[in-house]
C-alpha cells in the first residue's frame, strides 16, 4: 500500500507558493524583472531558501494573473503585453468599474469618502514634490481599491483582484513627468470623489469612463513609443 504524504504537506506547500507568488509579484511590479525576462526556478528557489516545487506553483499563480507566461520546456518569463492585451484589459476594466461606481453612489459611506479624499490628498502631495511611475501606480491602485470596497460586492471585488496585477503593470508605463499628468492624476480622482459625495450616478459614471480613457491613452502612447508603433495611440 502506498504511503500518503503527511497531511500538512500540501497546505504548507500551497501557503508557501502563495507567499512566493506575492514576493515575485511585488518584484515584477517594482520593475526588478522586466517584460520578457526569464524567471529561473533554481536561482529563485535558492535565493528564497525553498525547493523548486513551490516556486513552480507560484509561477502558475502568476500566469493566472497574466503577469507570467509559462513556456513549455523553456520555463517562465515575465509577460510582455501586446496592444491587444492593453485594449482587452482596458475594456474589461471599464465594464467592471462602471458597475462599481454605480453601486458606490448608493452604498458609499462617510468612512469610504474620507479614505478616498485622503488618497487624493496623498496623490496631490506626491505630485507636488515629483512623483515616480511606481508611486503613481501604487497610489492610483490604492484609490480604486477603496472604490471597489465601497461598492460592497464580493464577486465584483474578486474580479477586480484578478485583473488588478495586469492593470498595475500597465500603469507603470505612463509619462508622469509632465504637468498634464499630475493635473490628470489629482483632479481626475477628485472629480470621482465629488460625484460620489453628491450621489450623482450619471456624473460618476461619466467621470470614471473619462478617467479610465485618459489612463488608457497615456499607457497606449508610451507603448507606441516603446514599440515604435507610431500610429498605435492614434488608432485606438
For residue 39, the number of C-alpha atoms closer than 13 Å in the C-beta half-sphere is: 31
Please say whether the beta carbons of 81 and 47 come within 8 A: no
Tell me the three state secondary structure of residue 35: coil
Secondary structure of residue 47 in the 3-state scheme:
helix
At 140, list the grid cell: 492610483
pLDDT recorded at residue 235? 41
Structural domains in the chain, sorted by start: 9-78 (1.10.10.10), 83-235 (1.20.120.530)
Name residues of the chain where pLDDT drops below 70: 1-12, 226, 228-236
How confident is the model at residue 224, as a pLDDT? 82
pLDDT on residue 69: 87
Beta bridge partners of 71: 75
Q: Which pLDDT value is given to residue 109? A: 98
State residue 106's pLDDT score.
98
Cα separation, 223 vs 236, in Å, equals 12
Residues 83-120: pLDDT tens digits? 888 999 999 999 999 999 999 999 999 999 999 999 99
- The pLDDT value recorded for residue 110 is 98
Integer-rounded Cα radius of gyration of the chain: 20
Alpha carbon distance 158, 104 (integer Å): 16
DSSP state of 2: P
Which position has the grid cell 513549455? Answer: 72
Strand order in the sheet with 75-78: 38-39, 75-78, 68-71
pLDDT at 230: 45
SS3 sequence, 151-212? HCCHHHHHHHHHHHHHHHHHHCCCCCCCHHHHHHHHHHHHHHHHHHHCCCHHHHHHHHHHHH
Amino acid at each position: 500500500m502506498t504511503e500518503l504524504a503527511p497531511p500538512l504537506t500540501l497546505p504548507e506547500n500551497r501557503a508557501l507558493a502563495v507567499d512566493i507568488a506575492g514576493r515575485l509579484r511585488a518584484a515584477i511590479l517594482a520593475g526588478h524583472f522586466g517584460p520578457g525576462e526569464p524567471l529561473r526556478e533554481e536561482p529563485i528557489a535558492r535565493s528564497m531558501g525553498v525547493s523548486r516545487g513551490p516556486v513552480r506553483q507560484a509561477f502558475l499563480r502568476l500566469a493566472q494573473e497574466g503577469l507570467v507566461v509559462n513556456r513549455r520546456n523553456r520555463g517562465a518569463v515575465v509577460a510582455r503585453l501586446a496592444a491587444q492585451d492593453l485594449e482587452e484589459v482596458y475594456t474589461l476594466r471599464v465594464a467592471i468599474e462602471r458597475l462599481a461606481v454605480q453601486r458606490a453612489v448608493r452604498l458609499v459611506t462617510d468612512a469610504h469618502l474620507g479614505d478616498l479624499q485622503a488618497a487624493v490628498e496623498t496623490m496631490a502631495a506626491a505630485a507636488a514634490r515629483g512623483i515616480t511611475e511606481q508611486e503613481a501606480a501604487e497610489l492610483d491602485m490604492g484609490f480604486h481599491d477603496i472604490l471597489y470596497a465601497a461598492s460592497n460586492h464580493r464577486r465584483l471585488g474578486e474580479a477586480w483582484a484578478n485583473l488588478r496585477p495586469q492593470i498595475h503593470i500597465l500603469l507603470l508605463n505612463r509619462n508622469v513627468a509632465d504637468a498634464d499628468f499630475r493635473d490628470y492624476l489629482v483632479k481626475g480622482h477628485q472629480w470621482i470623489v465629488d460625484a460620489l459625495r453628491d450621489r450623482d450616478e450619471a456624473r460618476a459614471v461619466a467621470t470614471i469612463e473619462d478617467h479610465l480613457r485618459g489612463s488608457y491613452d497615456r499607457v497606449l502612447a508610451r507603448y507606441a513609443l516603446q514599440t515604435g508603433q507610431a500610429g498605435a495611440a492614434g488608432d485606438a
